[in-house]
Amino acid sequence: MKKYFFLRCGLSVILLMHSAVSIFSGDVNNFGLLFLDTIGFSPFGLYLAWMIKLVHLASVALIWIDSFIRPVAICNILIFIFGIYYVHWQNGWFVVGGGTNGIEFNVLLICSFLQLMFSEYPAQKKSRRS
């Protein structure tokens, strides 16, 4: 079993569903043209939206083949931070319950990627001086 198997499963399913569904439904185009372009990313909103979704899709494969874990984590963390800033911050903390569309889920994803990223560092041995 892969190290952090369940964390990899969770992240992969979330990234795959979040990207594949919006690609096949066409929502990625709406997100780029109707949202990103209107908040100051014009004329690059559509390209930025597709880049985000393609990064998510590529991340799924790279997570499972244990390649480029740190760059994958950094790219996704940056996407989530910008998502918090531009989309979720004004809605508060809660995704459901105390509010809607808040930042709590993105914070959890950021922490999950940090765990995956920093778990790859080898443990450092303490040197003993005599």
Per DSSP, the residues of the chain read --TTHHHHHHHHHHHHHHHHHHHHHTHHHHIIIIIIGGGTTTTSHHHHHHHHHHHHHHHHHHHHTT-SHHHHHHHHHHHHHHHIIIIIGGG-S-SSSSSSS-SHHHHHHHHHHHHHHHTTSPPPPPPPP-
Q: Over pLDDT 70: what percentage of the chain?
A: 91
pLDDT of residue 127: 60
pLDDT per residue as tens digits for the range 72-121: 999 999 999 999 999 999 999 999 888 899 999 999 999 999 999 998 66
pLDDT at position 119: 86
Give the pLDDT mean for 28-33: 98
Amino acid, single-letter form, for residue 11: L
Q: Which residue has the higher pLDDT, 19 or 122?
A: 19
Q: Rounded mean pLDDT of 23-46? A: 97
pTM for this prediction: 0.88
pLDDT for the residue numbered 4: 92
Q: At what angle do helices 69-83 and 104-118 cross, to 10 degrees?
A: 160
Higher pLDDT residue, 97 or 56? 56
Residue 59 to residues 45, 97, 125, 126, Cα–Cα distance (Å): 21, 30, 31, 34
Separation between Cα atoms, residue 58 and residue 45, nearest integer Å: 20
Question: Is 127 exposed, middle or buried (CB count within 10 Å of its CB: 0-12, 13-18, 19+)?
Answer: exposed
% of the chain at pLDDT higher than 90: 84
